[in-house]
Amino acid sequence: MRPIWHEDEEFWAETAPLQFSSRAWAAAGEQVEAIAKLLALTPGMRVLDMPCGPGRHSLALARRGFRVTGVDRTAAFLEEAERRAAAEGLSVEFVRADMREFRRPEAFDAAVNLFTSFGYFDDPAEDRKVLENFFSSLRPGGWLLVDVRGKETLARDFLPRDWVQREGVLLLEEREIIEGWSRIRTRWIVVRDGKCREFILTLRLYSGAELKRLLEEVGFREVELYGDFEGSLYGPEAKRLIAVGRR
């Protein structure tokens, strides 16, 4: 049997050129600038990036003078992140760990969970566990930013199927809303180097109100919702669901 999709090394290897394209890498700097402004971060602060993937945002944060810890469970991504950091002479701590398990009490001034990296798990209690780990890892007064595709924006823009070609990889997607709009199941057909791979992903969906309530239940306060990293209103024109809460 194949591992569940988010623990499947082959899935991440085959889809990395799509998820972490040259365009996505180029956008990270601007995104980090906006995040730093939104959270009022100053150089020297300790920032947790979890999960960090191949270090797209971790490296951008380090370039701007933050002390960064990037956490991910995919070894190949961490190896790439470490290579890139070494090539630029950046000091970044990379840790291989599952975000359901990583916790470093009161170690960070801020934490980020980016690129719809929340809602992976079949059991919603595990989503709560991830937020509890972030809460514990922040110092009192520290900020968490969670960036996902909100249920409202997904309903507005929903396509049952489409395709994209990027970085020499063709991706065909078929999407199905399941369990009363609580989750989405997506079939990815990846064509790369003349080979075809198929993966089934499931992701828990959150509305703005649901995500805010969950953050507050874990203990976060002053929770605000935004429609982009620049701090626009989370409303009909929102691009993303950005939730920001303070420990």
pLDDT-flagged residues of the chain (< 50): none
Which pLDDT value is given to residue 93?
98
Which pLDDT value is given to residue 100?
98
Gap between the Cα atoms of 166 and 23, Å rounded: 10
Q: What confidence tens digit (pLDDT) does each residue in 221-245 have?
A: 999 999 999 999 999 999 999 999 9
Gap between the Cα atoms of 66 and 42, Å rounded: 8
Which pLDDT value is given to residue 42?
97
75-88 and 56-63 helices, crossing angle to 10°: 30
- What's the gap between Cα 209 and its chain centre? 19
SS3 99: coil
Which pLDDT value is given to residue 8?
94
Which pLDDT value is given to residue 58?
98
Which pLDDT value is given to residue 45?
98
Which pLDDT value is given to residue 194?
86
Which pLDDT value is given to residue 192?
87
Contacts 24+ apart (CB under 8 A), 25-31: 25/56, 28/56, 28/57, 28/59, 28/60, 29/60, 29/63, 31/57, 31/60, 31/114, 31/229
